[in-house]
């Protein structure tokens, strides 16, 4: 799968000429009128959810929000010089070791693994930062997914304005257009990786979540890194599913992809205090 610089990646997920297009929907419109859960569902299931399907999706996220205590313990033992981006890669790998779906590939497995990662990554970081004495953080189904993510990562429930701003950032971060992390995700999927391997590969490449900050104790960088990773998980899963579909339909199982990376990277997830 050689990488070139002469053409855009045209897929069912996005069109090269539209910098913010997801399966025919503009991200800018979703950011102003939809929720991140809507966009995540769209990426994973190829259609926007109706109210019942969206409620079921939120229920799945809530039910998946459990983390083995040993992962928290291991994360707390990481050296202070380890950046949030490096910690994310470690945590993703650890979560895969404790997931019964680990090692399985294909659309059904990728969807389940994506939900598990989206639900569990915030809990790991919340547990090590705001919940002491062995107390485990829990998802709050009364809040939107984005608002609960802010609560878990900052230790406080956001205001309505903060929730709207953060949700818009998450929606915009779920842009599936060509980028180094997308290409790495597709390559990992083509080589037979499960979603934990796909996400780890994406995190190691290019426009994935920033390592940012000097230490893992830098709160703003941790919040940004985890939030962006959670927003990108359904993107990487969707591209992984599409890559497998293309391999199944290609003669000899070989797909040649030419990609252009010409998108300026915008700063998302600015400190809530600066909104």
Question: Could you read off the pLDDT of 48-63 as tens digits, one per residue?
Answer: 888 999 999 999 999 9
Exposure b/e, 233-258, CB count within 10 A at least 16 = b: bbbbbbbbbbbbebeeeeeeeebebe
**Any domain includes 41:** yes
> What range does the domain containing 251 cover?
21-274
Instruction: Please provide the distance, in angstroms rounded to a whole number, between the alpha carbons at the two ends of the chain.
Output: 42
- Per-residue model confidence (pLDDT) at position 87: 83
pLDDT at residue 99, as a whole number: 85
Give me the torsion for CA of 266, 91, 87, 231, rounded to 10°.
10
Is residue 16 a part of any domain in this protein? Answer: no
pLDDT at residue number 3: 32
d(CA 15, CA 125) in angstroms, rounded, equals: 35
Encode pLDDT of 157-208 as tens digits.
999 999 988 888 888 888 888 888 899 999 999 999 999 999 999 998 854 4
Structure tokens at 242: 């599409």
Q: In the 3-class helix/strand/coil scheme, how is the chain assigned residue by residue? A: CCCCCCCCCCCCCCCCCCCCEECCEEHHHHHHHCCHHHHHHHHHHCCCCCHHHHHHHHHHHHHCCCCCHHHHHHHHCCCCCCCHHHHHHHHHHHHHHCCCCCCCCCHHHHHHHHHHHHHHHHHHHHHHHCCCCCCCCCCCCCCCHHHHHHHHHHCCCCCHHHHHHHHHHHHHHCCCCCCHHHHHHHHHHHCCCCHHHHHHHHHCCCCCCCCCCCCCCCHHHHHHHHHHHHHHHHHHHHHHHHHHHHHHHCHHHCCCCCCCCCCCCCCCCCCHHHC
Alpha carbon 197 to its chain centroid, in Å, reads 13
* Cβ neighbours of residue 135 closer than 8 Å, sequence gap 6 or more: none
**For position 233, what pLDDT does the model report?**
95
Q: Which structure tokens are listed for 248?
A: 């199944």
The CATH number for 166's domain is: 1.10.580.10
Q: Is residue 4 part of a domain?
A: no
9 is a domain residue? no
**Residue 111, pLDDT score:** 95
CA nearest 244: which of 108, 121, 153? Answer: 108
Question: How many separate domains does the chain show?
Answer: 1
Question: 150 in a domain, yes or no?
Answer: yes
CA distance 26 to 257: 24
Residue-level pLDDT at 133: 54
Domain presence at residue 58? yes
Question: Quick one: pLDDT at residue 109?
Answer: 94
What is the model's pLDDT at position 20? 56
> Is residue 185, in this structure, part of any structural domain at all?
yes
The Cα–Cα gap between 150 and 135 comes to 19
pLDDT value for 44: 94
Q: Which residues of the chain have pLDDT under 70?
A: 1-24, 27-33, 129-135, 206-220, 250-275
Residue 227: inside a domain: yes
């Amino acid at each position: 799968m050689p990488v070139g610089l002469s053409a855009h990646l045209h897929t069912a997920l996005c069109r090269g000429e539209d910098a913010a297009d997801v399966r025919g929907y503009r991200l800018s419109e979703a950011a102003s009128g939809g929720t991140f859960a809507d966009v995540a569902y769209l990426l994973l299931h190829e259609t926007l959810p109706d109210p019942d399907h969206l409620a079921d999706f939120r229920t799945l996220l809530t039910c998946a929000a459990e983390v083995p205590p040993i992962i928290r313990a291991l994360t707390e033992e990481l050296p202070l010089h380890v950046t949030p981006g490096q910690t994310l890669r470690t945590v993703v790998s650890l979560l895969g070791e404790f997931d019964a779906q680990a090692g399985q590939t294909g659309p059904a497995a990728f969807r389940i693994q994506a939900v598990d990662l989206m639900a569990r990554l915030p809990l790991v970081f919340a547990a090590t930062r705001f919940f002491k004495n062995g107390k485990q953080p829990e998802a709050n189904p009364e809040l939107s997914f984005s608002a609960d993510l802010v609560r878990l990562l900052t230790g406080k429930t956001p205001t309505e304005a903060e929730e709207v701003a953060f949700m818009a950032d998450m929606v915009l971060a779920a842009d599936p257009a060509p980028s180094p992390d997308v290409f790495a995700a597709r390559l990992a999927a083509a080589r037979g990786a499960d979603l934990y391997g796909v996400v780890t590969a994406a995190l190691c490449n290019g426009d994935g979540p920033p390592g940012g900050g000097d230490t893992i104790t830098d709160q703003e960088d941790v919040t940004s890194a985890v939030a962006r990773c959670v927003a990108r998980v359904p993107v990487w899963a969707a591209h992984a599913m599409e890559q497998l579909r293309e391999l199944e339909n290609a003669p000899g199982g070989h797909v040649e992809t030419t990609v252009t990376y010409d998108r300026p990277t915008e700063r998302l997830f600015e400190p809530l205090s600066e909104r």
